[in-house]
Amino acid sequence: MELLIIDTIDILKACILIFATQNLNWFIASLVFGLVMGGLTWWLCAFFAKLWNTKYSLTGWHHLLRALSAILVFCAVVLGCSMKYTQTVAENILDNWGEQLKADQGWGQDTFTHCYDAVKAAGKENFAGYPDPRDGGDNRIPTSLTASQETVASVSVKSATDHFKTYHPFLSMILLADNDVPESVVFADVKSYFGANPGGTYPHENAIRIAINHVKSGLEIQTPKVVFYSRLILGGLFAFLFILTLLSISIGAYSDIKVHYVNA
């Protein structure tokens, strides 16, 4: 959950940054409009109280609610406009993640070990001369059979997508969900690689590239939906808080009328 929140905040911050750098005039306009809407929200709460009771003074709780409503509508305006750049941000994150993963020797070694174990567990290859990497092996796996080649590629691609899901939970949730890379895509790359490099070892770079392309394939379809529902949620949160604020004010103002009526 912590990584999900951090990932979401990072994406929103990146959207705002790109919005501010690539379209400064519209960014300033969104800030001004957000401030206007926040100020209008603040004023409407006080005006609403006077509709009920001209002598009623808002309490500290009411001031807190109206302040939160004003802040929320400001954030909703700026974030709603910034979300236009969600796809650009997602593509940048994917590219950066791919470069970082290629340089991650720990992940590469762990993935190779998983590939080695998977091929060995199948029991179809001769492992003589292929020592276990945990015992000082030189990172070679016997892949004379097509099934072994496909196993190495499948394990590598799954390791890459699992890494992305772990460290970018928000993006993976909306772009991947439980949708893994199709085997046909992996096997086609296996055929292409080993056709040009017989006896070679399937490179992690290929697995990372396949994972990135798979995630990117969902960007154009999923991003508009995510932006739409995110804006809807922001609007819904503001509407809920604003209505709650007005309801609280109306109850307080009406109660104050009853007190003065009884005392009179």
Please provide the DSSP assignment of 80-149 as one string.
Answer: HHHGGGHHHHHHHHHHHHHHHHHT-HHHHHHHHHHHHHHHHHHT-S--TT---GGGT--S-----SHHHH
Decide if pLDDT at 260 tops 60.
Answer: no
- Per the domain annotation, does 3 fall within a domain? no
Decide if pLDDT at 53 tops 90.
Answer: no
Kindly state whether residues 92 and 82 are assigned to the same domain.
no
Decide if pLDDT at 34 tops 80.
Answer: yes
Q: How much is the pLDDT for 40?
A: 96
pLDDT digits (tens, 9 = 90+) for 85-96: 998 998 899 899
- Per the domain annotation, does 164 fall within a domain? yes
- Per the domain annotation, does 100 fall within a domain? yes
- Per the domain annotation, does 4 fall within a domain? no
Helix axes 24-52, 60-82, angle to 10 degrees: 150
- Per the domain annotation, does 31 fall within a domain? yes
Kindly state whether residues 147 and 186 are assigned to the same domain.
yes
Kindly state whether residues 178 and 248 are assigned to the same domain.
no
Kindly state whether residues 42 and 138 are assigned to the same domain.
no
Please provide the DSSP assignment of 164-217 as one string.
Answer: HHHH-HHHHHHHTTT-PPPHHHHHHHHHHHHHHSTT----HHHHHHHHHHHHHH
Kindly state whether residues 132 and 214 are assigned to the same domain.
yes
Q: How much is the pLDDT for 15?
A: 94
What is the arithmetic mean of pLDDT over 17-29?
96
The dihedral formed by the CA atoms of 218, 220, 224 and 227, expressed in degrees to the nearest 10: 70
Kindly state whether residues 106 and 152 are assigned to the same domain.
yes
- Per the domain annotation, does 6 fall within a domain? no
Sequence-distant contacts of 194-203: CB under 8 A, at least 24 apart:
194/143, 194/149, 199/143, 201/139, 201/140, 201/141, 201/143, 201/152, 202/115, 202/143, 202/149, 202/152, 202/153, 202/156
- Under the banding of pLDDT at 50, 70 and 90, the label for residue 215 is confident
CB-facing half-sphere around the CA of 59: CA atoms within 13 A: 12
* Separation of alpha carbons 235 and 76, rounded Å: 7
Tell me how many degrees the CA angle 60-55-242 measures, rounded to the nearest 5. Answer: 45
Q: How much is the pLDDT for 200?
A: 80
- How many distinct structural domains can be found in the chain? 2
Kindly state whether residues 70 and 137 are assigned to the same domain.
no
Kindly state whether residues 119 and 209 are assigned to the same domain.
yes
pLDDT digits (tens, 9 = 90+) for 95-109: 999 999 999 999 999
Decide if pLDDT at 165 tops 80.
Answer: yes
Instruction: Identify which has the larger pLDDT, 12 or 222.
Output: 12
- Per the domain annotation, does 180 fall within a domain? yes
Range of the domain at 146: 88-220
Q: Which amino acid is at 161?
A: T
